[in-house]
Structure formats: structure tokens, C-alpha cells
Amino acid sequence: MTAPIAERFSEIRRAFHRCPEPAWREFRTTGLLVEEIRSIGVDELAVGAEAYDPDDRMAVPDDDELDRWLDWARADGVDGELLDAMAGGTTGAVAVIERGDGPSVGLRVDIDGLFVEESTADDHAPAAEGFRSEHDGTMHACGHDAHMTVGLGVLEAIEKSDFPGTFTAFFQPAEEESGGGKPMAESRFAADLDYLLAVHVGLDHPTGEVVAGIRKPLAMSHLTVEFTGTSAHAGKEPNAGDNAVQALAAAIQNAYAVPRHEAGMTRVNVGRVEAGAASNVIAERAALAGEVRGETTALREYAKAELERTVRAAAEMHGCDADFRIVSESPRADSDEALVALVSDVAAGVDGVDSVVPWADFGASEDATFLMRRVQENGGEAAYLVVGTDHPGSHHTPRFDVDERSIPVGVDVLTETVLRIADERP
Amino acid sequence: MTAPIAERFSEIRRAFHRCPEPAWREFRTTGLLVEEIRSIGVDELAVGAEAYDPDDRMAVPDDDELDRWLDWARADGVDGELLDAMAGGTTGAVAVIERGDGPSVGLRVDIDGLFVEESTADDHAPAAEGFRSEHDGTMHACGHDAHMTVGLGVLEAIEKSDFPGTFTAFFQPAEEESGGGKPMAESRFAADLDYLLAVHVGLDHPTGEVVAGIRKPLAMSHLTVEFTGTSAHAGKEPNAGDNAVQALAAAIQNAYAVPRHEAGMTRVNVGRVEAGAASNVIAERAALAGEVRGETTALREYAKAELERTVRAAAEMHGCDADFRIVSESPRADSDEALVALVSDVAAGVDGVDSVVPWADFGASEDATFLMRRVQENGGEAAYLVVGTDHPGSHHTPRFDVDERSIPVGVDVLTETVLRIADERP
Amino acid sequence: MTAPIAERFSEIRRAFHRCPEPAWREFRTTGLLVEEIRSIGVDELAVGAEAYDPDDRMAVPDDDELDRWLDWARADGVDGELLDAMAGGTTGAVAVIERGDGPSVGLRVDIDGLFVEESTADDHAPAAEGFRSEHDGTMHACGHDAHMTVGLGVLEAIEKSDFPGTFTAFFQPAEEESGGGKPMAESRFAADLDYLLAVHVGLDHPTGEVVAGIRKPLAMSHLTVEFTGTSAHAGKEPNAGDNAVQALAAAIQNAYAVPRHEAGMTRVNVGRVEAGAASNVIAERAALAGEVRGETTALREYAKAELERTVRAAAEMHGCDADFRIVSESPRADSDEALVALVSDVAAGVDGVDSVVPWADFGASEDATFLMRRVQENGGEAAYLVVGTDHPGSHHTPRFDVDERSIPVGVDVLTETVLRIADERP
Amino acid sequence: MTAPIAERFSEIRRAFHRCPEPAWREFRTTGLLVEEIRSIGVDELAVGAEAYDPDDRMAVPDDDELDRWLDWARADGVDGELLDAMAGGTTGAVAVIERGDGPSVGLRVDIDGLFVEESTADDHAPAAEGFRSEHDGTMHACGHDAHMTVGLGVLEAIEKSDFPGTFTAFFQPAEEESGGGKPMAESRFAADLDYLLAVHVGLDHPTGEVVAGIRKPLAMSHLTVEFTGTSAHAGKEPNAGDNAVQALAAAIQNAYAVPRHEAGMTRVNVGRVEAGAASNVIAERAALAGEVRGETTALREYAKAELERTVRAAAEMHGCDADFRIVSESPRADSDEALVALVSDVAAGVDGVDSVVPWADFGASEDATFLMRRVQENGGEAAYLVVGTDHPGSHHTPRFDVDERSIPVGVDVLTETVLRIADERP
């Protein structure tokens, strides 16, 4: 019989750390999760297409890419039936403990890894202690390995408690691509939640510090544009081309010049471009990957509309077509004051917590906001909290690591919050 | 009784030099021309709307501007009836000598001045010798004063000769704006010409040199664009504006990047811009004046179409409207080989001619090409010739001047050419 | 003997309204002010160069422009000695009441008009009631006529009161150009202030509403850039030019694309451009007038530095020189909480005040911030308050007008605040 | 014993066609050439570093790439000693027949293939008849397989003739990258040539047509630019980045706007770009591959200098560094009139020639110009001729093919020209 999760936090987290799988490729990760959830014993466990509508997913890679990762998972011994349930990249799982007459509380943790090559340095603990990524070029460089471990820890603790309501743990794929929050939020599991908790480790907060509530995550859209023109020999007949590189350059210059908005912060970025074939050919194809963000969802929509107009006019200016596509999006959603006050109060009493920060702003984006908004729109409350962890490198860099002492802290703060909700806000 | 023109070249040229009048404002100039033509005695003299259809004119200034110049001419003693004939800026004249049974030969000279402030330097002959421009800010800085004198000289000489055909002298306004060539070419006077001669002095050819034929004048379009957007306070609500300055900048950057053409030379220029009102206001209006040119008329049309598309897309990109207007245009037309050979042969025998250049290329534009093409399309021949003149400053600069010794040279080459045409190509 | 100001608010305000004078041209306005201040009787009255160091002024127009306005004032009967004191455009005045042993309180009001053509509509009160601007093309379209009236009203009221300290009224020129705040702040009159009050009418707050304190005026810089290249014939030798229009366009496109800043709002605008001479000439000169703003002075400095680098590189890119000049600037300064609380409390008790808004954000810029910062740096406190007024048109538009009922409200709120300061914070 | 080349044109050409090898990778190709040259028997055969100074090469790929192709050649059975002579990608060969007392005549043919995927269509002869490229993604799509065959044919014919002088055949690598012309031209083999002939098949001239002389090949430079800035999180701190994508866009927009030149045609193209890593990161790296061309070498230098200035300023504008590198270049060189007249005369008498075009313009670039200029600078003469061939697809496209009947035509025209040179211009 397996030892309780609470005794295996480090072991579990390291198992996840070894197999970072990017968005919608979390086959082996889901396998590990399912194994642990089964060992806990829950009332309902839904995997993949049982957990959400696959059509609600965003930023899904193509089949070749998915198959490559599926094969790796299969070779690694993940159960075939389980893999079948994840066909087409329907990864992730939802676990439910249903006790009847109490509040319905959700906890969302994210499970995907990143395309970052992990450090091999001697002073990088995963390398030194043998749990570095086993898949070159990918890494759990944002702490989702710890998030999953915390999620399992809370699930086990609630299962063992006398919590009287419904507790639902969302193990959400594709957070880094803002691809998995929406299907989870649209699912039946999110329909009747009274409370939603989401958690992140680190974010420059040290071990022992807890931020009870996050404010102002930016609404965000990832997008791609493909310009299609006409190629021509650049020496012999430059006039015969419709130059996709010129369309691209006009689009970029004017994209960054989308006007600032009186109502608050906006962001526009063209982060990646690729165009053309050879120096002596007028390019017939140019592609960019970019994003827009806004301090509110409306501001993101403003920036998106301006950008789309800019891109379409740039294409037209140079006789090209533009295919403007939204890859994925997330709205803004803030934590609720009453719930944050409760978390704050709980955290102050948890062992290992030295400092409680009631509120912090968040300069980036998060698709937990889909779930938060779903709950808030139903009249419920949400809180996104941060469990501090000493991390040697920044998030998304090769030397990122988490201080495993923060895992039980996260489990305790969240478990205690769920129980206090049941006690005080039934 | 007035002395023959041939004895008064310098006096006449200087009278013209004193009153430079830009496009469609050549009221006093036309007055002087009419006086001289009447003294010669011709079979038909048509002024203004009698000479061409005013609606064919291009680049006509507004009424206020015309009235200002009309008043100046009136104050200067130009005959009131004549001024009435030029109401609305229908300046210029056509004079015809009709003898009956011979070839119909046309000679076109241009009559307008430039908005250039003439030099007051002691070594600038017009200043030193008292015939500098009497109208500040304008100048005969391209030699049209000499052209008119040559035209009158030829008219007198043909009148006195036994030339047996029809000789038509076109005193064309608005060459500098490419505005007067078209109405002259569309007029009944150009309908039946067998030959067309046009002449320019200088162009870096010294006194004593004659170029018998010009090749490759660029086809050209002058144009204006006005962008209209929406103003807004740049600090309080930049998003509320539709920024005409941004549209203008996008248009300019991409205008110069219109692709080169395999078939030959093109040109694009934005020579003047003006936009906005105050530093703290998003500009609602921006205007540009520009031009396109091409080695052929088709190449100009290519550049014009590309530019228009660019401008419209730039407007759309920034939520503005664009009003794209052609101000005036001239086509390309080359001199004909046979006629150039004749001119070349004639010139070699003219007193004062040291050197005859059979052909030269022309890097700029000229709206004599309208008349040349009209004649060529009717099966006739045309030649555009250059009568060299030592000029201290470049054309269109404050110290430009002509060497008056080149005037009789021009008269003789042209007169002799007309007579030889009648002799040899009846 | 003149009636008290308090009985002539409307008459005085309308006198100012009739003679709107833009930045550093407030000769007649200063004349009217001096007359009224003398009628009140103060301990010190400093005009022009007595009031501040003329070298600290910014955005001073050229001598021709100043002389034009000076002549108008002279023709209008302004005292010659007074005009001499304002030679070179040293307009404005400072009036001091000195009682000895109490706090030193300053009040700043601005006095300049705008280049806006005032409405002649029947329902525009100044037109209908005969006090429309007497100087075509300029207008008191921002309420500075009311500000001056309020300033005189407070000065009279303090003079008549038993206020024990020093009261200094700054009648500051050139607020609209951010040109006059700095010299006032640098002057000896601002050296020992304990408190500074500044006031604005309207700003979309209705008559009867008072905003006790303004937060977040944007730090701002007005600037100009002149690009100098080389002209050339656009048809004959485009390569011979160094195109200032291209430099301008590259600068504009990239200016608007200066990156947003994590620390808060920035603004960049190119509000006015002018370049080139003729459509067929490569432009040798291009000029722009623009501005940068920031939520803090540091953010403005960031935007300014980025813009300057952009402009210099754009010039270099096209072989041009760039002359980048700051015309005028103002820093950010916020109202102080304690003083705002006092204003808030006072306002609530003033006759005619229906509603007190403790704080409001300010989306634009103001050079009262120079005085506020001077006081704050000396350990004093400042408050910028808004006295609501129903205004039919927006500020800076032809139909702007103030509801004169707001003038006594402003006088009472400010007078009472000054007296309470003396009572409570001696 | 091997059959004479003249009997094996098709077989030899098809052997070359099967193994297209791009620039500096022509290991197997050189192997085949050496084998044939040895079978002919020449006075000197220099391979690789014996033939030229490797440091004069341009556009040499990196070692990994070279090794990949070297291994392929080795596996294919190319002689190891020969491969050693080509270490580091010193491919190509020079063969000399030295008879003593006659003119020194050179013939240059190029030997490299292209990165084009050859058609597999049934009506594409190489596919149908079994000699399609054996190396996926590369193809002899420009006829260099025929050029080499012609070169070998002429070498054999001269060897068998009584030609009295020195005949040197240059089998030049890397023409498509303009990388091999320069080392050949700088070599000792080119030092004393009196005549240089170069040949191309096709170029839209049909089988049976010969163009005796090419005029106006464009001078050309291939170049790359790499922009290096600073990456930053696009949402959290866009200001912390130095955006290489913005630098790239500014460079592109202004690159295409490099002014046209009065002296003739120029070209600028940015054919390939690649930048950045992820949509949410300010890009720290951007790269472009481009080219400039000019109707003369001076015009190319003009465009290159303008482009470099543009690129450097664009980098500076966005706080980036720019690494501007010339990859390879070729000058302009025209055929000489006297030699072209001779070729023209010879061609008219050759069997299979239906039509002789004395001169044609060439809208693209060619690095044979290095050899032509070397010879011309030494007082010799050069001619670049075209041997027409029916080609179903355009040059550089998957369905290009040559009509093998044109091979003996090329051999005869060239051989006869060499012999006539010896006869007539000793």
C-alpha cells in the first residue's frame, strides 16, 4: 500500500519534475496524477474528454506533435486505456469529493511544463540530486510540479477530513499557453462552485510568505498572423512581387504604436517572426506570433481590435492577405475581498508562515481567471493566492527551482481555508 | 511704329523677366505677348478661353490667389478687355499664320515664372542692370522669358518669310505645374499639326551648343493627399483619436518603398507635408504634396497605383480617410528621329552654333509632351530641342540667368527648321 | 471710489474674458489685474521681472509676436510704465499681504488665454451678452478669466480679514504652455511658503461640486524637433538628397512605438508637423511639435529619453541632423492628504456647495505642480482643488463658458481654507 | 578505355544531374569532373586549394554542413585523396592545356546545384527517365550540369585541335551564392589571360538560338544583418527590453526606401527574416538575409552604403547592436564588342544554330564578372554568351530541364571561337 501523500511531497514533486510536458502533451503527468488520485480515493475522477469539452481547448498543437509525446508516454509505461482517454491531447483531470450538505469549493492547479532547457549546473538541485528533466528542451520552470503536489496534498487532506460539502480539484493542462482554463471553466464541474481557490508558488515571494489575494492579472490574447503575398525575383522583376516582408514590417511598426488608452494599461508585442526563403526572392510568406494584454478584458479587446485593423491594412498596403488568428485568451479576474480576508486570517495561523501579504498586483496573465470569473458570475467568490518559495532562478529560466518546504505550507493554508469556509460560510 | 522684334530681343526678354507670373497667373505676361503679336500681325490670335477649353487646365489656383494677381496686372495697366478674356485664370495665347498650301507646323513655348526669390547680388545681371523681378518671391528662374522672346522672334520671321503652310505659335501657361500642356494639346489648334517643335534654353548646355532632340522626359503626376481622422486630447484620451499624423507617417515610409520596376526608372516623392495643430492634440488632419514619375507613362501609372494603394491603406490603418488627388500630369513623349536629323542639320549651319548634339536624355518632366503626343498620334512628328545658354546659377535657383546671345540662335535654328520642313517635307 | 470686488465678480470676469492673451502676451490682462490689486491695497505688488527671473520662463514667443501684442495693449490704454515693466514679455504679477506672525500661504491662479476662435452662436452667453473675445482667434476657453476673478476675490477677503500670517497671490502667466509655473516656483515669493493652494474651475464637475484634492497630474514636456537634410530634384537626382521628410516619418512611426513602462502610464504625441517646400523637391527641412507625459516625473523622463534617441536615430538613418528641443515642462505633484482633508471639511460648510469630492485623478498636466513641489520640498503642504462649474462646451473649445455662480463659491472655499489654516495649523 | 566525351554528352550531363551539390559542397561533382579531365589528358589539373586561395572564397557554409556533404561523397565512392584535397570545402578544379606560342584563352563554367526540390512529375524528363536528383531537396535547376558537360566537351576538342596557345578551363563552384568567382579570378590561372569566355544555357532563349554577348549583369551583394537587443517579459516590463523585432521592422521599412539613383537601376531586398522566441517575450535577436544590386558596381556600393547606414540607425533607434555582414558579392562586367562580334560570326556558321542575337541585357547577377573584369583590367577581352535551350520550367524551379541538343551546339560555338581567336587575334 502506498504511503500517504503527506509523507511523500518531495518524492511526488520530483517525479513530476522529471517529466515536464508542455501544453496538451501532459500524458505521463496525467498518468502520475491519476495514480495518486486513485490511491487517495475520490467520489469522481474524470480524465480528458470526460472532464471538459475538447472543443473548448485553445492552443492545441498539431497531431504529429501530440503523437510524438503520446508515444513517449506509452514507451514510458503509461496505462494504454488511460492514454486512449487522452487521445487527441485531452490531458488533465478533475477529482471530486462529494459529501452532500456544504459549500461547493474548487481548487485549481496547473500541470504543464515549458520549452526551457533545464540547467545542468552542479548547484542546480534537480541536476545535482538526480531529478532533472528527462526530456531535453523542456522543464518544469514555473513550479507546476509543486502546484500538482500541493493539489494532491489538499485532496488527500480534505478526503481525510470531515469537510461536509463538495470539493473539486481541477488539474488543468496548458496554463502556459492560456489554453486549458477555458474548457475547465466551461465544464459541468465548474457550474455550481461557491468558491474557487487557485495557487501559485514563488513569484519572488520567499519561503514563509503567503499572499492572500492577487489583483490585476492582465487580460491577454495570444495570436498569430500569416501574411501571404506573391514571390518574385528581387533583381529581375521586383514589381511582380507582393512583398510579405514589407507587410510584416509595416504591421510591426504600427502594432507597437497602437495608442495608449485612457482607461488603463495595454500591451502589444510581436515576439516572434519568420518570413521569406532566400535573400534574392521577394518573400511570399511572413508569419508573426504576438500578444495583446489589457488591465481589463475591455482594454485587451481594444488593443486586439486596433492590432487586427493595423495588420489587415498592412497586408492590403502591400497587396498581401493576412490571416489573423487568436490562439488563446484569458480574461482579467480579481480575488474577492471577503475570501482574501479569510485566507489572510488562515495563513497567519499556519505553521511555517512568517509573513502574510494581504494583496499583491500581478503584472502578467493567468487563465485561472476563466474559473474565477465563472464562479464570480454565479455569485460565488474566488481567491488566487501565492505561496512564497525561495527560487534561485527566475520563473521560466533554466535554474528555476522551488524550495520544497513550501509544499506543506501551501497544502495547509489551502486545506485550512477550505475547512474554514465550510465552518464559517456554509 | 515699333521696331522689329529681331532688334529688340534683349529689351523684350527683360520686360518679361521683370514680371514673372506663376501658373495661370500670367496676366501681365499675356498682355505683353498680345501687344507684340499684334505688332507682328498674324492671321489669328486667340487668348485664354478662345485658345483652349478652360476645363482641360490642371493645377489651377483658387480664386483668391488668381484675383490677387489679376489686380496686380490691372494696376500695372494691362488692358481691361484683355483681362476679362482671361477671367478665372485663362492665360496664354495662340497665334496663327495661315498661308494655305503647305505643312502645318507648331511651335510651343512656355510662359510662366516660379516661386523663387531672385538674387539681389551685384554679380547677378538682372539685379545689376535693373531688370530684376518686380514681384517679390517670384522669378523667371527657368528661362521662360527667353522662350517667349524666341517664340515671338520666330513668329515674326515666319510672317516675313514665304513659308507656304500654317504656322501656329503656342504661348503656353503653367508648364512648371504641368497644367497648361494638356489644354493646348486638346485645343483645335493642335488638331491638324504635321510637326511640333518645342524648345528649352540652357539645361547645362553652354551658349553655342544645340541639342537637336530630347529623349526620355519622365512621365509625371503631381498629387496631393489629405488624411482626415479624429482629434483628441493626447494626454487624457489618446485612444479617442484617429491619428492623421500616424497615417501620414505610415504612408510616407511605405511610399518611398514602392517596388522598383523591371521595365525602367520610377520616382516617388513626398515633397511637402503639413499636419496637426498643437503638440498636445491628436491630429485630425494631415496633408501631403507629392509626385510620381516614370521612364514611360505606363511606369508612372504603375507608381501612381502603388502609391494610391499605400496611401489608402495607411489611412485605413489609423482609422482615417484619405483624399488622393491628381493635381496635374504629363506623359512621356520622345522626339522623332527624322525631324531631329533635320534640326541637327539645320543647326550645324546656323551662325553662333559651335556644337550640335544630336540627342540627349532628359531626367525631368515637361508637359510639351502632351502636344508632342497629340501630333505623333495623328501621324506627325515632333522634336524638343535645347538651345544652350551659359547660365551662372542652376535652373530654379535665385542666380539663374540666360546669356541673351542664345536668343537669336534659338530664333534662327527654329525659323530655318520650319522653312526647311516646308521645302523638304511639304 | 471703486466698489468692492465681491460686488463685481461678473463684471471683472467679463472684462478679463474680453481680452484673452496667450502665453507671455498677457499685457492688458496684467494691466487689469494691477488696477484691481491696487484698489484692494496690498503690502507688496511685484510685476514681471520684479516677480520672477525672466530667464526661468519657458515657451517664450519671439520678439515680433510679443511686440504685436504689446502694441495692442498700448493702443488699448494700458499704462506705459507698466508696459515697460513687462518688456520682453515678463507678464503676470505677485501680490503679498504680510501680517507677521502666522503661516505663509500661497494661492496660485493662472491668467493666460488660448488660440481658440470663440463661438458667435446666439446661445453662447459671451456672444449673446456682449463680452465675447475682442481679439479674433483667441479666447478664454479654459476659465482662467474666472480663476483671476477668484484670486482677486480671495485677496480682497484676506485683506479685510484678521488673517495673521503672510498671504501671497501668484497671478501666473503661460500655464497653457507650461511656461510660467517654473519662474513663479523659483522666485523669492515661493521660497518660504508653508502652504500652497491652486484652483481650477469646471473639468466636468458641475456648479455646486468641489473636489478637495487633485491626484496624478501627468508630468509633461513640450518639445520640438527640426530635421535638416539636403534638398535635391526628386526626378533628376533623388540620391543627392538627404530627405528630411523620410527622417520625419521614421521618427513619428517609432515615436508612438516607444515601449509602455511597467511603472505606469506614459504618453507620446506628435501633434504638429510641417516639412518641405514643393512636391518635386527632396525636402531639406522638417519640423515637428510634440509632447511626452508620464504618470510620474521619472516616467516622463523615460519617455523623453526614448523619444530623443528615436528622433536622433531617425535623422541619422536619413543623413539628416536633428535639433531636439524641450520647449517647456512640468513635473508631477499630488495634493497632500492633511490639507485636502481640511479643504474638504471647509467646502462642506460653504454656501452653494452641494457636493464635496475628496479626491479626483487628473488625466492632463498642470504647471502649478512646480509651486506645489517647491512647497512640498520645503516641508510644506499643497492642494490643488476644483470648483465645479456648469460649462456648455468642453475646455479648449469655442463654446466653453463658466457659470459665474461658481466664482463666489471658489472665493469662499479658498478664503475660508486660508483662515482655517491660520486657526488650526499656525 | 573511355569513349570520347563528344559521344557521351547526355550520359555525362545526366551523371552530373543526379548529384546536385550546392555551393562549396561539390565534392562528388568535382570527383566526376576530375575523372573526365584525366581521361582527356591535360597539361595541368589543379583541384581545390591548388586552384585558388581558399581565403578568397565567399559564402562558405559551416563545418557541420560541409562534413555532411563530404560524408555523402565519401559513401558514394569519391576517391579519398581527392576528398582530402577538398578539405574544408575547397571544391572545383582548373584544367590547363599549354601549347606555347598563342593567345591565353579561359573558359569558365559553374558547377553548383540549388536547394530546390526536383519535380517527380511523369512529364519531367529527369524523373521519367531515371536521372532525377539523388539528393532530396537539391537540384541542378539552373543548367550547371549542362555547363560542365559543355566545358568538358570544349576541353576535349581543344586538346585534340592544333590550338597553339594556352587554354584554361575554370570549373567554378558556388556561382549561385556568388562565392566562387572571386577566388578563381584572384588565382594565378587568371593572371595572364588574354580572353575569357563564359557561357550559360537557356535564360528563355530556345534551342538553336545563341546570344553572342551579355550586357548589364547587375552588380550584387548578398548580406546578413543580426540585431541583438535585450529580452524582457512583454507583459511585466516591456520597458526593460531592447526590442530586436522593432529594430528589424524599422530597418526593413527604410531599407526598401533607399532613394533611387539618377545614374541607373538599384535594387534592395530583404528576402528572409527570423526573430524572437515567444509571443510574450520582447525579442533579443532578429536576423535578416538580404541583397543589394546595382546597374553598375558603383550603384551597388551606393545602395550597400545606404542600407548599412539604415540598418545601423534602426538598431540604435531601438537600443540594439547590428552586425552587418557581406556574405558574397559580384561586380558588373560587360562583354567586349570585338569579341562579341567574333562569337556572333562564329555562331552563325555552327550547325544547329538558327538564330544569333548579338546582344542581350541581363536582369540578374553573375560572378563570372570577377573573371571578366580581371581579364579586362589586364587589357584582355571577355564575352559572356548564352546557348539557347528549350526549358519546360523556369530556371530555379522544380520542372526546369535542358534540351540536351544544345550541349554540342555550345561546345561547337565555344571551340570554334577559341580556334578563331588563335587564328585571327594571335
Query: Is A16 found in the same domain as A120?
Result: yes
Query: Is C146 found in the same domain as C116?
Result: yes
Q: Chain B contact for C246, CB < 8 A?
A: yes
Residue A288 region by backbone torsions, left for phi larger than 0, else alpha for psi between -120 and 50, else beta:
beta
Query: Is D194 found in the same domain as D238?
Result: no
H/E element holding D226? strand D219-228
Q: Chain B contact for C276, CB < 8 A?
A: yes
Query: Is B180 found in the same domain as B40?
Result: yes
Residue B104 reports pLDDT greater than 90? yes
C298-323: pLDDT as tens digits: 999 999 999 999 999 999 999 999 99
* Chain A (209-228) residues lying within 8 Å, Cβ to Cβ, of chain D: 218, 220, 222-223
Q: Do D245 and A271 touch (CB under 8 A)?
A: yes
User: Which CATH number covers residue A210?
Assistant: 3.40.630.10
Least confident of B150-154, B233-237, B294-298, D367-371: B233-237
Query: Is A172 found in the same domain as A64?
Result: yes
Q: Chain B contact for A309, CB < 8 A?
A: yes
**Domain boundary residue among D330, D361, D378?**
D330
Best B175, B225, B226, B272 residue to mutate vs chain C (most C CBs within 10 Å):
B272
Q: Tell me how far CA of residue A147 lies from CA of A202, A355, C422, in angstroms.
A: 11, 20, 60
Mean pLDDT along residues D339-345: 97
D109 or D237: which leads in pLDDT: D109
- Cβ-based contacts under 8 A for chains A and B: 67
Residue B262 region by backbone torsions, left for phi larger than 0, else alpha for psi between -120 and 50, else beta:
alpha
Residue D426 reports pLDDT greater than 70? no
For C271, which of B234, B256, B269 is closest by C-beta distance? B234
Give the distance from residue D254's alpha carbon to the nearest chain B alpha carbon, in angstroms: 7
Query: Is D173 found in the same domain as D185?
Result: yes
Q: Do D233 and A363 touch (CB under 8 A)?
A: yes
Q: Searching chain A, which residue's CA lies closest to the CA of residue C265?
A: A265
Q: Do A289 and D278 touch (CB under 8 A)?
A: yes
B356-378: pLDDT as tens digits: 999 999 878 899 999 999 999 99
For chain B, the maximum distance between any two Cα atoms, rounded to a whole number of angstroms, is 80
Mean pLDDT along residues A243-269: 96
User: In D, which residues are within 8 Å of B266 by CB distance?
Assistant: 260
Task: Return the pLDDT at D31.
Answer: 97
For C363, which of B236, B243, B290 is closest by C-beta distance? B236
Q: Do A260 and C266 touch (CB under 8 A)?
A: yes
For C273, which of B236, B269, B273 is closest by C-beta distance? B273
H/E element holding D9? helix D9-18
User: In C, which residues are within 8 Å of D257 by CB distance?
Assistant: 246
User: In C, which residues are within 8 Å of B252 by CB distance?
Assistant: 245-246, 248-249
D110-145: pLDDT as tens digits: 999 999 899 999 999 999 999 999 998 999 999 999
A17-31: pLDDT as tens digits: 999 999 999 999 999
**Domain boundary residue among B330, B356, B371?**
B330
User: In D, which residues are within 8 Å of B265 by CB distance?
Assistant: 260, 265
Q: Chain C contact for D250, CB < 8 A?
A: yes
* Chain B (312-341) residues lying within 8 Å, Cβ to Cβ, of chain A: 313-314, 316-319
Return the partners of chain C (3 or more C-beta pairs < 8 Å).
Answer: A, B, D
Task: Return the pLDDT at B426.
Answer: 65
Is the Cα dihedral C407, C412, C417, C418 positive or negative? Answer: positive
Task: Show the cell assigned to D330.
Answer: 559580384
Task: Return the pLDDT at D1.
Answer: 62
- DSSP letters, C175-204, are TTTT-SHHHHHHSGGGTT-SEEEEEEE-TT
For B272, which of C236, C271, C279 is closest by C-beta distance? C279
Q: Do A291 and D280 touch (CB under 8 A)?
A: yes
A133-153: pLDDT as tens digits: 999 899 999 999 999 999 999
Q: Do C249 and B246 touch (CB under 8 A)?
A: no
Query: Is B343 found in the same domain as B235?
Result: no
Query: Is A136 found in the same domain as A41?
Result: yes
**Domain boundary residue among B330, B360, B390?**
B330
Q: Searching chain C, which residue's CA lies closest to the CA of residue B288?
A: C279
Residue D88 region by backbone torsions, left for phi larger than 0, else alpha for psi between -120 and 50, else beta:
left
Residue D380 reports pLDDT greater than 70? yes
Residue A426's pLDDT band, with cuts at 50, 70 and 90, is low
User: Which CATH number covers residue B281?
Assistant: 3.30.70.360
Q: Tell me how far CA of residue B402 lies from CA of A31, B42, B140, B357, B406, in angstroms.
A: 94, 28, 10, 20, 8
For D271, which of A220, A276, A327 is closest by C-beta distance? A276
For B260, which of D253, D262, D265 is closest by C-beta distance? D265
User: In B, which residues are within 8 Å of D261 by CB distance?
Assistant: none
Query: Is C230 found in the same domain as C377?
Result: no
**pTM of the predicted model as reported, rounded to 2 decimal places:** 0.90
Return the residue matching grid coordinates 508515444.
A71
User: In B, which residues are within 8 Å of A261 by CB distance?
Assistant: 238-239
A43-83: pLDDT as tens digits: 999 999 999 999 999 999 999 999 999 999 999 999 999 99
Q: Searching chain C, which residue's CA lies closest to the CA of residue A251?
A: C253
- DSSP letters, C74-118, are HHTT--HHHHHHTTTT---EEEEEE-SSS-EEEEEEE---BS-PP
Mean pLDDT along residues A377-394: 96
Domain containing residue A237: 219-330
Q: Chain C contact for A253, CB < 8 A?
A: yes
Residue A1's pLDDT band, with cuts at 50, 70 and 90, is low
Task: Show the cell assigned to C411.
Answer: 472665493
Task: Return the pLDDT at C2.
Answer: 81
For A250, which of D220, D253, D365 is closest by C-beta distance? D253
B24-59: pLDDT as tens digits: 999 999 999 999 999 999 999 999 999 999 999 999
Residue A216 reports pLDDT greater than 90? no
d(CA C230, CA C322): 13
Q: Do D273 and A278 touch (CB under 8 A)?
A: no
Return the residue matching grid coordinates 468641489.
C210
Q: Do A250 and B250 touch (CB under 8 A)?
A: yes
Query: Is C232 found in the same domain as C148?
Result: no
Query: Is C339 found in the same domain as C322?
Result: no
Task: Return the pLDDT at D278.
Answer: 87
For C317, which of D259, D262, D314 is closest by C-beta distance? D314
Query: Is C188 found in the same domain as C64?
Result: yes
Residue B379 exposed, middle or buried by CB count within 10 Å (0-12, 13-18, 19+) = exposed
User: In D, which residues are within 8 Å of A363 by CB distance?
Assistant: 233, 235-237
- Mean pLDDT over the full length of chain D: 95
Return the partners of chain D (3 or more C-beta pairs < 8 Å).
Answer: A, B, C
Q: Do C313 and D309 touch (CB under 8 A)?
A: no
Give the distance from residue D292's alpha carbon to the nearest chain A alpha carbon, in angstroms: 9
Are D245 and A273 a contacting pair, CB within 8 Å?
yes
Domain count, chain D: 2
3 state SS of A221:
strand
Residue A236 reports pLDDT greater than 90? no
**Residue C255: count of CB within 10 angstroms of its CB:** 25
Q: Tell me how far CA of residue B380 lies from CA of A94, A339, B270, D208, in angstroms.
A: 90, 94, 37, 41
ipTM over 0.85 threshold: yes
Q: Do B252 and C249 touch (CB under 8 A)?
A: yes
Strand segments, DSSP code E, in D42-185 are 44-47, 93-98, 104-110, 166-172
Task: Return the pLDDT at B1.
Answer: 62
Q: Do A236 and D274 touch (CB under 8 A)?
A: no
User: Low-confidence residues of chain C, pLDDT below 50?
Assistant: none
Residue D5 reports pLDDT greater than 70? yes
Residue D321 reports pLDDT greater than 70? yes
Q: Chain C contact for B273, CB < 8 A?
A: yes
